[in-house]
């Protein structure tokens, strides 16, 4: 009979994996929209807060992200309303490139809103997180030639920042 030794690290990893099973990968779909089409307030799920604590990722931690892995190094980039798969270009705490970030894009307002709900490191499992894409000086602002349901942006890379709730 083989005895499996359980270490605290293994138990924490198992707990993290169990809590991530019910987490959304691309948003809840229950976000109220503001009159301009941008998403309203949304709580960060407790499972994501636990996972971020375990990973030692804090609110405000940030890095760089390619907004759409299907349009790497494209300028300008066209984002579509709905699910998005992005890729880290820099470390975000222990998450290293090319960790994938899964989230949702809203294109209804004057600026694109991107919220991330899960991260998947290379060779690893998806982990719930809460993060947003941001650029200074209005650079997530849509170009005027953006059609409904799309947003044309000048840059394919943005900052990604950890949050504890979506505002």
Please give the Cα distance from 123 to 102 (Å, whole number).
16
Instruction: Kindly report the CATH class assigned to 39-166.
Output: mainly beta
117 burial via Cβ count (<10 Å: 0-12, 13-18, 19+): buried
Mean pLDDT, rounded, for 80-109: 97
pTM check: above 0.85: no
Q: Domain extents for the chain?
A: 39-166
Mean pLDDT across the chain:
85
> Greater confidence, 154 or 16?
154
């Amino acid at each position: 009979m083989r005895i499996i030794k359980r270490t605290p690290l293994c138990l924490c990893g198992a707990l993290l994996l169990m809590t991530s099973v019910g987490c959304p990968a691309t948003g809840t779909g229950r976000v109220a929209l503001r009159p301009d089409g941008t998403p309203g307030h949304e709580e960060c799920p407790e499972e994501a807060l636990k996972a971020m604590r375990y990973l030692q990722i804090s609110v405000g931690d940030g890095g760089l992200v390619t907004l759409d892995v299907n349009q790497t190094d494209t300028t300008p980039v066209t984002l579509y309303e709905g699910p998005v798969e992005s890729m880290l270009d820099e470390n975000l705490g222990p998450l290293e490139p090319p960790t994938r970030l899964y989230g949702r894009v809203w294109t209804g307002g004057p600026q694109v809103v991107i919220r991330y709900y899960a991260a998947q490191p290379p060779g690893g499992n998806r982990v719930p997180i809460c993060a947003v894409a941001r650029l200074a000086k209005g650079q997530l602002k849509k170009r005027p030639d953006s059609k409904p349901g799309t947003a044309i942006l000048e840059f394919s890379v943005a900052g990604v920042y950890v949050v504890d709730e979506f505002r």
